[in-house]
Every structure is written in structure tokens, then in C-alpha cells.
Amino acid sequence: MSELISTHHLTKIYGSGEAAVRALDVIALSVQAGEFFAIMGPSGCGKSTLLNLLGALDQPTSGDVWVAGENLARLKDVDRFRARMIGFVFQLHNLLPTLTALENIEVPMIGQGPSRRQRLERADELLALVGLGERGHHLPNQLSGGQRQRVAIARALANRPQLLLADEPTGALDSQSGEELLALLANLKQTQGTTIAVVTHDRRVAQATQRILYMQDGRIISDHRVLDPLEEDLRTLAQSKLGQAILTEDDAPLRQITAEEELVLRGILHRLQAAQSTPVAGEGGAQTDQDDEHTRSSFTEILRAPLPLPLQAVDRAKQDHE
């Protein structure tokens, strides 16, 4: 695998003086070609800003972004590079309302070389790929939300981009349409080798990818491979208000749970914290299967290790509670 995306000291500040917002705060990121990854984090943490910079839709305040060996700031023709290399899918599909599904998919190919006939053939092929072969002549308002979003994906793929950037593509969909969309993305990654970044608030969406970046206040605070659902659940627990309260020994949110529950959670979280010293491979390239195996087995070992708190403490807590 080769590196498709890298960012160095990437910083984005909106506005200036007192009103300045540091939307991205020195981001270093490396993504291999063919990776399918998710970007998560609270509203306003900089996810869309990061995605827009990766897609050359906006310019950094400082630092740089490299995509497919090109420094985006040095490109002579950014529009052409973007049209050829990168596909975008947004939360609201942005289809042109007066064009049919096929015509919408055709739009990004106009001016890129293919003849009208080739464009329509490609649009047909893409529509079939997203499972909407029969709907080519429908206008966007004659399609369901999930179908429109699939047309938007087909459109994003029109010029065979190496990189697909999706900003909350399932945000406006019900859970079944969301799952279908995800399956489609996973399939694209498999069959076309497309590198895919998905910004999402939905943990299940993130778990369907191979790697999850968590952002907070313009920084990447966690970057890990998705190993198994158990580990993901534990990480979610660790990052939740309750988990953070336990780890920082902040009592206020803990009044909701029993002393026994707190002890159990505390034990799990402390062991998880110890296990989290295995971040994703950064500059050094992809981890091997062996590394993954190693991470998994050491994680399981840690989970099996004795609790830091003596069992008597649990018994005591139980008695206190009763």
C-alpha cells in the first residue's frame, strides 16, 4: 500500500483577532491508499473543516496537505485535480432538482473528456452499481432520501476518483437506508479500491470502517484501527461522560449508578486505559496482520487481568448499597 493522504502541521483559523476560531490545530494525518476510515467528534470540533481541506475545497492557514503525491497548495489547476481525483458526498445530497438521476450523475463528467454517449453509459453503469438501475429518469423529488443519497454517491464516483470524502452521508437517513449506504461504501472500497473518509456522528457507521479518528477542539485525540466490536464498545464507554467521570474520579455524574456498577466500570476502564497504548501506525505505514493479532491478544489479556480493586471492595459496595 502507498500513502494517499498526508497532512503536516495542518492548521485552520477562521476569522482574526478576538473572533478567531482555531478549527484545526496542527493536524498530522497519514492515510494509505484503499483505507476506509471515519472521522468522529462533537459538533464544531473541525471534522468538516478537515474534510474540506483534504478535498481542496478550502485552504489551510498554515501547514500543508498532500494527496496522491501532490501538495494541494502548489497545484496549478486545483479544480481539475479535484474533479479527476476526489468525489464528495454531503449530508444533503445537493442534486440538481431539474435534472434526472442520470443527468445529475453525468454533470461532473462534462468537460472531463468523455463524449455524451460515454458519459451516459458511465452514468448508467454507476446507477446500476448503486442499485438504482430502474430510476435513471426520475427527478430527485421522485426519489426517497436514501435513493437520492445513492445517486449522490454515483455522481461522486463519475470520474473514478481515488478518494471519496463523505460528510455525514447517513445523517439524514433512517437506519436501514443508512446501513444500505454503508454496505455500498464498503463494497466500493473492496471492488474499486477507493479510499473513503466518512464524517459521522453515528458509532455504528464508524464501526463499519477500518479506522476511527476522534477529534476534539481541532485536534485528533484518538486514532485507532477497528479491531472488534467489544473493544469498540469499551472505547465508547471510555469516551462517554460516564467513562470520563470514572477515569477522572469526578463524582457528580456517578450518582446515577450504584456503587457496585461503578466499581465494575472503574475496573474495566482502567484496564482499557492501559490497553490503549497501541495507536494506529502513523508515518511508518500500515500495520501488518501480525501487529493486529498482537494488539488483539494483548487487549484480551488485559481484559482478563485481575481487577485493580480487591473483590472485597465490591462486596462492601454491594452491602452498602443494599
Ligand X SMILES: Nc1ncnc2c1ncn2[C@@H]1O[C@H](COP(=O)(O)OP(=O)(O)OP(=O)(O)O)[C@@H](O)[C@H]1O
Q: Which stretch binds ligand X (CB under 6 A): 14-22, 105-113, 270-278, 300-308?
A: 14-22
User: Segment contacting Mg ion (CB under 5 A): 5-13, 45-53, 144-152, 243-251?
Assistant: 45-53
**Strands of the 70-71 sheet, one edge to the other:** 21-32, 3-14, 62-67, 70-71
Q: Which does 277 bind (CB under 5 to 8 A by kind): Mg ion, ligand X, none?
A: none
- Please tell me whether residue 55 adopts helix, strand or coil conformation: coil
* Interaction of residue 48 with Mg ion, rule CB under 5 A: yes
DSSP 96: -
Q: Select the binding partner of residue 166 from ligand X, Mg ion, none (C-beta < 5 to 8 A, by kind).
A: none
Which DSSP string corresponds to 21-74? EEEEEEEEEEEETT-EEEEE-STTSSHHHHHHHHTTSS--SEEEEEETTEEGGG
Q: Which of 48, 162, 170, 177 touches ligand X by CB under 6 A? A: 48
Question: Positive or negative CA dihedral for 95, 199, 242, 226?
Answer: positive
Q: How many helices (H) and strands (E) does the chain have?
A: 12, 10
Our finding on whether 46 is near ligand X (CB under 6 A) is yes
Identify which of residues 215 and 269 has a Cβ nearer to ligand X in the complex. 215
Cβ contact 70:230 at 8 Å: no
Q: Name residues whose C-beta falls within 8 Å of residue 309's C-beta, 6 or more positions apart in sequence.
A: 263, 266, 267
Per CB under 5 A, 49 contacts Mg ion = no
Query: CB of 223: closest distance to ligand X in angstroms?
Result: 16
* Identity of the residue, 184 or 215, whose beta carbon is nearer to ligand X in the bound complex: 215
Among Mg ion, ligand X, none, partner that 14 touches (CB below 5 to 8 angstroms by kind): ligand X
Angle in degrees, CA 116, 118, 120, rounded to 5: 70
Copy the grid coordinates of residue 12: 485552520
Of these partners, Mg ion, ligand X, none, which one is at the site of residue 92 (CB under 5 to 8 Å by kind)? none
> Would you count residue 92 as binding ligand X (CB under 6 A)?
no
C-alpha cell at 93: 445530497
Q: Which does 98 bind (CB under 5 to 8 A by kind): ligand X, Mg ion, none?
A: none
Query: Least separation, in Å, of the C-beta of 50 and ligand X?
Result: 7
91 binds Mg ion (CB under 5 A): no
**Are 164 and 197 a contacting pair, CB within 8 Å?**
yes
Answer for which of 2, 9, 20, 21 binds ligand X (CB under 6 A) is 21
Q: How far is the CB of 13 from ligand X (least distance, A)?
A: 9
Distances, alpha carbon 176 to alpha carbons 183, 269, 294, in Å: 11, 32, 35
- Start-to-end C-alpha separation, the chain: 58
Nearer to ligand X, 50 or 101 (CB): 50
Part in contact with ligand X (CB under 6 A); list of ranges 2-10, 39-47, 128-136, 283-291: 39-47
Cα separation, 139 vs 240, in Å, equals 42
| Residue 45 binds ligand X (CB under 6 A) | yes
44 sits near ligand X (criterion: CB under 6 A): yes
Which residue's CB atom is positioned nearest to Mg ion?
48
**Residue 49 binds to ligand X (criterion: CB under 6 A):** yes
Phi, psi of 88 (to 5 degrees): -120, 140
Binding residues (CB under 5 A) for Mg ion: these are: 48
Binding positions for ligand X, rule: CB under 6 A: 14-15, 21, 23, 41, 43-49
